[in-house]
Amino acid sequence: MKLAIAQALQSALSNLYQIDWQIDTNIIQKTNREFEGDFTIVVFPFVKQAHKAPDVVAQELGTYISQSINCHFNVVKGFLNLVFDAQSWYDFIQKNRFNSQYGYQKMAENEPVTLIEFSSPNTNKPLHLGHIRNNLLGDSVSRILSACGKNVVKVNLVNDRGIHICKSMLAWKKFGNGETPESSHIKGDHLVGKYYVEFDKHYKAQVEELVKGGMEKERAEKEAPLIREAQEMLLKWENNDPEIRALWNQMNNWVYAGFDQTYKQLGIEFHKIYYESQTYLLGKKLVDEGLKKGVFYRRDDNSVWVDLRDKGLDEKLLLRKDGTSVYMTQDLGTAQLRYEEYLPQKMIYVVGNEQNYHFDVLKIVLGEKLGKEFGKSIFHLSYGMVELPNGKMKSREGTVVDADDLMEEMIYQAKEKTSELGKNAVEDAGELYEMIGLGALKYFILKVDPKKNMLFNPEESIDFNGNTAPFIQYTHARIKSLLRKAEENAIDYAQISLSDISLEKREKELIQSLYDFPQVVESAGTNMSPALIANYAFDLAKDFNRFYQETPIFKETDDTKRILRLQISELTALVIKNAMALLGIKVPEKM
């Protein structure tokens, strides 16, 4: 409808005022509910060229458009409100209620790649609550961009090397007594994380001992035997020491097996996984290139830096004095490799807002200092931190809420809540509990604007009456129950064509909400914000429940109205399912 309005508006402007206007459906807005109308055109942008008063322009445009696309209109000051008849809205229902891809756009041939990196875990600990927000945001944005017709490639960069990895390795070597996931019955990533905590405990004790002996704390933190050993281990790793490499491979493989289980339960998949150990050398080559060009410089201690003070930043370390790389080094190499492999039109990095500075530097170093055109395609999808009601999480101290534990708790809470409300009398109850529990977790995190910090409250997330996934999931299950009841009562709502219909207020409001879905998806893609989808799904579920309460279906004696309401319900279920799928959330048929 909006496209038809835009085409008619283009013709009207050309014929009435000789205005050459390029079609932009964004100028066509949804009419505020206090006014009569379905769509509103703000005519003020055209008044100056038309050389007429706003009311006159609106009246003339309304007359022209209403003759072109069979609608009527009214004018409120400089606003042209267009009203479509019931048949137009019913045609919309008929056109889309069997369209499983409603709201989604097809990808064009030869669509260039949009590459999105998310997750990016370290192999020294399991995924935690912060990683969950990262994974859910990256996965949902990928789904939304795909639904907008983008050619999305999802990648993961595993930080599998560096001093933090050596800390876990060293602690296991010193204190592990040969413990393995099999011998301890501990998931591999959890076992390695255990030794990361163990390192920190012994390291702090060493620092404290040195301070007691009269050494300043800052020096003690550098001189403690454990940290020096970890640094030596990193050097040996970079020099391909066979013993260190063997231990590194063994412990990383434990972690990868653990990660795979977590990703599978979260419903997360990647097209490709990169490993820092395979890309940091490429970064070193780019550092050498920058040194030769004179855009990087080497200090007396042999470390390599780039001076960005002319960009309002500061000097940034690219290689340590011992020649070992830093995060920036491997990000330079990884970006180069990805460009060579995919030629992406955009490289999106889903990383927390504490790394805003890092990505400002990355874009400048690649795009301006090294002259790599693809550096300008980098986009940092920055998001806020997530906390629990009892405060922040600290990996080194072992106070992190592991993703696995959180998912298990959410599934348990779903079981308790559904049992309490009597909503679990279905087959495959275990599958339902997981659908509700994980849906609650995903929705509660994704409904918040990515840029904002958030507090995750497990109890609030699983409320069946609030702005939650369970509320939306239950609405979907309710609609499916209505449709099954119609079939049981031999109501053939799928085959009957309707004519001479009229629409009641709640019917039309719900249909208009369904009509808005493609535009919401497009906006969510433009803004890379799953929150727009989440809150749309919640509003749609509310609209349906209001519609269901005020316009009865099976008590309705008019067959035409009953069938119309079933068809509206059918499309509503489809849109809820499609919207929630963009959040990575499944919806049940029964509940």
Write the pLDDT tens digit of every residue in 521-551: 999 999 999 999 999 999 999 999 999 999 9
Residue 106 backbone phi and psi in degrees, to 5: -80, 150
HEC secondary structure over 124-162: CCCCEHHHHHHHHHHHHHHHHHHHCCCEEEEEEEEECCC
**Alpha-carbon distance 457 to 442, whole Å?**
12
CB atoms < 10 A from the CB of 444, how many? 26
Out of 9-13, 406-410, 429-433, 444-448, the most confident range is 444-448
pLDDT at 472 over 70: yes
- Work out the average pLDDT over 345-367: 95
Report which of 152, 164, 158 is spatially closest to residue 195, judged by C-alpha positions: 164
pLDDT at 165 over 60: yes
DSSP secondary structure string, 316-349?
EEEE-TTS-B-HHHHHHHHHHHHHHHH--SEEEE
| pLDDT cut 90: percent of the chain above it | 67
Longest dimension (CA), the chain: 93
- Beta-carbon contacts of residue 500 (< 8 Å; ≥ 6 apart): none
CB atoms < 10 A from the CB of 48, how many? 8
Q: Please give the structure tokens belonging to residue 563.
A: 């069938």
How does pLDDT run across 227-238, given as a tens digit for each residue? 999 999 999 998
pLDDT at 560: 85
Q: Please give the structure tokens belonging to residue 337.
A: 């490799």
**Alpha-carbon distance 297 to 560, whole Å?**
78
pLDDT at 427 over 70: no
End-to-end CA distance of the chain: 36
CA dihedral for 206, 208, 209, 213, sign (positive or negative) = positive
pLDDT at 211: 94
pLDDT at 425: 56
Q: Please give the structure tokens belonging to residue 352.
A: 């927390």
Tell me, what DSSP letter sits at residue 105?
Answer: P
How does pLDDT run across 20-72, given as a tens digit for each residue? 888 777 788 888 878 888 899 988 889 899 899 999 999 999 898 988 888 88
Of the two residues 11 and 394, the one the predictor is more confident about is 11
pLDDT at 582: 98
Q: What is the pTM of this model?
A: 0.89
130-156 per-residue burial string, b: 16 or more CB within 10 A, e: under 16: bbbbbbbbbbbbbbbbbbbebbbbbbb
pLDDT class of 78 with cuts at 50, 70, 90 = confident
pLDDT at 393: 38
How does pLDDT run across 546-567, given as a tens digit for each residue? 999 999 899 888 888 899 999 9
Q: Please give the structure tokens belonging to residue 246.
A: 């063997």
pLDDT class of 389 with cuts at 50, 70, 90 = confident
Kindly calculate the radius of gyration of the chain based on its CA atoms and give it in whole angstroms: 29
**Alpha-carbon distance 41 to 21, whole Å?**
14
pLDDT class of 395 with cuts at 50, 70, 90 = very low
List of domains in the chain:
2-84 (3.30.1360.70), 118-387 (3.40.50.620), 404-581 (1.10.730.10)
The lowest-confidence range among 244-253, 307-316, 425-434, 462-471 is 425-434
The H or E element spanning position 461 is helix 458-461
Tell me, what DSSP letter sits at residue 65?
Answer: H
pLDDT at 66: 87
Place of tokens 């409320």: 463
- Work out the average pLDDT over 370-395: 81
pLDDT at 424: 55
- Beta-carbon contacts of residue 587 (< 8 Å; ≥ 6 apart): 435, 439, 472, 473, 476, 477, 576, 577, 580
How does pLDDT run across 13-34, given as a tens digit for each residue? 898 889 988 877 778 888 887 8
Mean pLDDT of the chain: 91
Report which of 234, 233, 181, 176 is spatially closest to residue 202, judged by C-alpha positions: 176
